[in-house]
A and B are shown apart, each in its own frame.
Chain A
């Protein structure tokens, strides 16, 4: 019998758990372990990482024996654009200011929808940036610049 993955959800989450556990273990080698009486900084994380690695391994092994949840396709476009939109917002908020940052995240994430039209997108960007500027900057006094360091010295 050929070895095949019969439970993709178990397989990939098992792999993820093992990867995370190994990373934490690798970094934790720099910290002192201590003893139960005097737990060092790495005591708790190391114990947890070993537990997580064990869980991950069981999931990996089980994925070859017991059939289970399938994963299905990924929403690649949505995933990329929504993430990109957030990253751009973070990069722009202090440099370009709230109006440009809000318009950018609105347009970039809205573009992920199959129902996106430029007209609607631009209206949404205008309405949302005006609303946020009024409510958050003027109204609530959240310290975000209207126009950021690119425009104001």
Chain B
């Protein structure tokens, strides 16, 4: 069996002591930032990116992936224990998780989250291993028109799945695409929109934008109303779910995993949308919908399985097509490029050890997470009591040093400050930053593929509808956008997000 030998190669790569160490560091840091509020995976990965330049690419990617799914995990711990979701994807877990904790069942809620996440992680890792090779085969046949249409589809999907006003999400995408154009034009070598600043000749750094908008902007927002975090942490006793609990969580875990795996592949939504969708499904089909919000164990099992599955499968488009489905994946692409690897369908055949090593490390990482989280839950609970006003100056320092060390230039630090301001303004205007970042990373790729397509077709724009693959993708994109305009779908979309507020 091909898949077995591939997975074996993956486990051999990820299983070296060196890589196991970086996997552990990754999930540890991920859990830490998941527990600490005001610091998300995007800002953390951006900060640590310079520190991984010296590592072999496999170890770097293993560690960065660990941070990503570790953060999902850590976020649910705080959601359950103190009703403060560390990550947006665990917002929904807080509803029933915290209610369970108030009923003295914090341990069971934590264990349920862990079991659900581990199961989902295992299934979606296998799914990734099964789905990636055929997808990469298809992707190898893609020419510029197919890539362009694929990106159009990706951006449309991220609008549909974005939170809040559609029109503004559209605006943010286009704004991101425009920012991506800044720098030297690949074709004519003309410096565009650089104001003759030499640092801008290579374009605006993605890490700088991410750190400004997600790191600094978030800090300013948190300073808006500094409320005291409740230091009351529920006591954790009796981790094991009883037989009745087991019976009740099997279905939600299976459904959550399926839903999360499917939604994770889509751009924009990923882990957060998966958890929202899984929760509403469980609430709808439950025979006891009134228990939801008051400590229903299904309300913990389903979203936790879904967000972990979604986090895992969001690697599929990145690894097979070289296209990011969310800002974290965009950073991963940045990391690969820094290590001299062009992300895309060729990675699997040219760098099999890297590709399968990352996949295998995800399963290992999920296993580490169980070990880290259940026995050490007391330590994480202690971390929760660090007040924010002690925490955020430290985050500022690490952001500034991280950005400076990218190119050893102060200009990047100034630029980070500007994007921090911009990130805060956009947050105030209820404009989602994630679609902007996707647009920003895809901007140069889209322009390049558009130019190539049109050159190949001698300037005929019909080239995008002449290729069947490209046409299909454009039709799906159009259908997705039309669907949003339907009143009934609009309502469902609003309902899906309404629980957060």
Contacts and interface: CB of A to CB of B under 8 A. Distances in A.
Contacts of A10: 165, 167-168
Q: Is the interface of B mostly helix, strand, loop or mixed?
A: helix
A9 B396 contact: no
B393 A109 contact: yes
A68 B168 CA distance: 12
A124 B410 CA distance: 23
B405 A142 contact: yes
A82 B396 CA distance: 8
A109 B224 CA distance: 13
Contacts of A121: 393
A59 B171 contact: yes
Given A17-B171, A86-B400, A69 B165 contact: yes
B447 A12 contact: no
Interface string B380-406: 000000011110111011011100110
Interface in A136-152: 136, 140, 142-144
B187 A41 contact: yes
B110 interface: no
Given A20-B178, A106-B397, A120 B410 contact: no
Interface residues of B, number: 66
How many of chain A's residues touch chain B, expressed as a range? 35 or more
A144 B174 CA distance: 37
A38 B455 contact: yes
A89 B219 contact: no
Given A78-B223, A105-B396, A105-B397, A86 B216 contact: yes
Nearest to A142: B405
B188 A41 contact: yes
B404 A52 contact: no
Interface of B: 50-51, 164-165, 167-168, 170-171, 174-175, 177-178, 181, 185, 187-188, 190, 192-193, 216, 219-221, 223-224, 226, 387-390, 392-394, 396-397, 399-401, 404-405, 408, 410-411, 413-414, 416-417, 420-421, 424-426, 428-431, 446-447, 450-451, 454-455, 458-461
Closest 3 CB pairs of A and B: A37-B459, A78-B223, A90-B413
Interface of A: 9-10, 12-14, 16-17, 20-21, 24, 27-28, 31-32, 35-42, 44-45, 48-49, 51-52, 55-56, 58-59, 62, 68-69, 71-75, 77-79, 82-83, 85-87, 89-91, 93-94, 98, 101-102, 105-107, 109-110, 112-116, 120-121, 124, 128, 132, 136, 140, 142-144
14 contacts: A9-B168, A10-B165, A10-B167, A13-B171, A39-B450, A45-B181, A71-B429, A72-B428, A73-B224, A115-B387, A115-B389, A124-B394, A132-B401, A142-B50
Given A105-B393, A113-B226, 5 more contacts: A20-B178, A31-B190, A37-B458, A86-B396, A94-B410
